[in-house]
């Protein structure tokens, strides 16, 4: 696939997730927010991911058994984009879970907002922060 088309798909994927992240930040309680962030956008990204994986032959020597094999795999622009789409989908799904869990536990959205931003930017860092906040809030609730 031509690099220009992959660049376009890269931009489209980023443009698709951004509104869902904004909804998680500004309207976490709106009934459509979870539908968009947990279902619609991840499903679109999953479709793109599947297409990227199935429409190209991986480079010779590519695989997941060693760092060298993964490096070879990601030398393919299409596989690199597939990896990026994978991150976008799973980080958004994780952010949607954080927002749902925060609402369930009564955690202020102002406390969750930095977790969501960090999950958007740095995935596991935001998740780790949210899990620590969640742990603290659960202990506070149990202490009452």
Query: Among 29, 39, 16, which Cα is nearest to 100's?
Result: 29
Tell me which DSSP letter residue 27 carries.
Answer: -
Per the structure, the count of domains in the chain is 1
Separation of CA 40 from chain center: 13
Tokens representing 111 are 């406390």
State the pTM of this model. Answer: 0.90
d(CA 134, CA 54): 39
Query: Among 5, 8, 35, which Cα is nearest to 19's?
Result: 35
- Which residues form the domain of 107? 3-143
71-129, pLDDT tens digit by residue? 999 999 999 999 999 999 999 999 999 999 999 999 999 999 999 999 999 999 999 99
């Amino acid at each position: 696939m031509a690099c220009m088309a992959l660049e376009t798909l890269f931009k489209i994927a980023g443009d698709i997730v951004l509104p869902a992240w904004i909804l998680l930040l500004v309207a976490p309680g709106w009934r459509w927010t979870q539908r968009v962030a947990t279902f619609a956008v991840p499903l679109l990204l999953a479709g793109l991911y599947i297409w990227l994986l199935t429409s190209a032959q991986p480079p010779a020597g590519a695989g997941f058994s060693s760092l060298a094999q993964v490096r070879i795999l990601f030398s393919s622009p299409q596989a690199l984009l597939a990896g990026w789409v994978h991150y976008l989908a799973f980080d958004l799904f994780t952010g949607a879970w954080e927002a749902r869990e925060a609402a369930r536990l009564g955690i202020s959205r102002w406390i969750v907002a930095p977790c969501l931003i960090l999950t958007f930017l740095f995935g596991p860092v935001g998740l780790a922060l949210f899990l620590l906040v969640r742990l603290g809030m659960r202990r506070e609730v149990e202490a009452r």
